[in-house]
Amino acid sequence: MKADSGLLEIYERLLTAYGPQKWWPAETPFEMMVGAVLTQNTSWTNVERAIAALRSRGLLDPAQIVGCDEASLAETIRPSGYFNQKAHRLKLLADFYLEQSSLAGLKRLPQPRHALLTLHGIGPETADSILLYALGMPVFVIDAYTRRIFTRLGLIPPDTTYHTLQALFEANLPAEVPLYREYHALIVMHAKAHCRSRPACDDCPLSGDCPVAHQAASLRSR
DNA sequence: GGCCAGGTGTAAA
DNA sequence: TTTACACATGGC
């Protein structure tokens, strides 16, 4: 693995380029958790429509989600795509949330990550997003953007596993929640600004005016 | 019209 | 252990 503590320098460049993102965009921790499920392989604009629909029906509440009909829940979140799957996943998540007597109980679990991963439809990224943004635990979130950007920068092989990439970040950054939150948000911001297309894009991170390209070049040469 | 989006679970090779 | 596919809407 070529990347090292220069990850912090890349962070500084992103922060300078884009400014603080102040993630996660949600009014409550539970809303954040709902958003984490709804955004699975889905653009955030579509998720916003679904969340607005949930809000207007008073469904941004675990008890309301548990109590409501799954078919009508699915219809409510239709704009977010995969609505049948996600309706089921939201019900499981809301049920789990109530079982733990809300956020405090969730935090008190000995292995909150493992507990989340046992829920059908909660994978590593969704679980870690919840840990970082809802529970305030120092867990670095890896997503498709993270892998794409750092692969294109030449810092990791494209097939680097979730766990390996996460360990790379966590081993080379101070375990600070605000830093982890902001870094992940900036990665998403940067990806949306510079490399939206899948195989490659000409003006992406490797181009001369990219705010992280220069830093990446110095990392590769070490 | 085709590709893509802040993944996850399942099944076949 | 790897690879392929289903799930689905809306923007560009």
Is strand B in 7 Å reach of the CB of A18? no
Asked whether residue A222, judged by its CB, lies under 7 Å from any atom of the DNA or RNA strand B, the reply is no
Q: Please determine, for residue A82, whether its predicted confidence score (pLDDT) is greater than 50.
A: yes
Q: How far is the CA of A42 from the C1' of B5 (A)?
A: 5
pLDDT on residue A152 = 87
Question: What is the DSSP annotation of A163-202?
Answer: HHHHHHHHHHS---HHHHHHHHHHHHHHHHHH--SSS--T
CATH code reported for the domain at A29-134:
1.10.340.30
pLDDT score recorded for residue A212: 55
Nucleotides of chain B in contact with protein CB (under 7 A) are 3-10
Q: Are A35 and A26 in contact (CB under 8 A)?
A: yes
**Confidence band for A210, pLDDT divided at 50, 70 and 90:** low
Say whether the CB atom of A79 is under 7 angstroms from strand C.
Answer: yes
Among A31-45, A79-93, A163-177, A204-218, which is the least confidently predicted range?
A204-218
Please determine, looking at this structure, whether the domain spanning A7-21+141-217 carries the CATH number 1.10.3720.10: no
Q: What is the pLDDT of residues A128-165, one digit of tens each?
A: 999 999 999 999 999 999 999 999 888 999 999 999 99
Would you kindly state where each structural domain of chain A is located, as residue ranges? 7-21+141-217, 29-134
Nucleotide B7 C1' to residue A167 CA (A): 20
- Predicted TM-score (pTM) of this structure: 0.91
Contact flag, residue A197 CB and nucleic strand C, below 7 A: no
Each residue's pLDDT tens digit, A192-208: 988 664 444 444 443 44
What is the SS3 assignment for chain A? CCCCCCHHHHHHHHHHHHCCCCCCCCCCHHHHHHHHHHCCCCCHHHHHHHHHHHHHCCCCCHHHHHHCCHHHHHHHCHHHCCHHHHHHHHHHHHHHHHHCCHHHHHHHCCCHHHHHHCCCCCCHHHHHHHHHHHCCCCCCCCCHHHHHHHHHCCCCCCCCCHHHHHHHHHHHCCCCHHHHHHHHHHHHHHHHHHCCCCCCCCCCCCCCCCCCHHHHHHHHCC
User: Would the Cβ of A48 be found within 7 angstroms of any atom in strand C?
Assistant: no
Mean pLDDT rounded to a whole number for chain A? 89
Task: State the pLDDT confidence band at A85, using cuts at 50, 70 and 90.
Answer: very high
Task: Tell me the nt nearest to A146, Cα to C1'.
Answer: B6
Structure confidence at residue A194 (pLDDT)? 80
Task: Quote the percentage of chain A above a pLDDT of 90.
Answer: 81
Task: Judge if the beta carbon of A41 is closer than 7 A to nucleic acid strand C.
Answer: yes
| CB-strand contact A43/B, under 7 Å | yes
Distance measured from the CA of protein residue A43 to the C1' of nucleotide B3, in angstroms: 14
Choice between A216 and A162, residue whose per-residue pLDDT is larger: A162
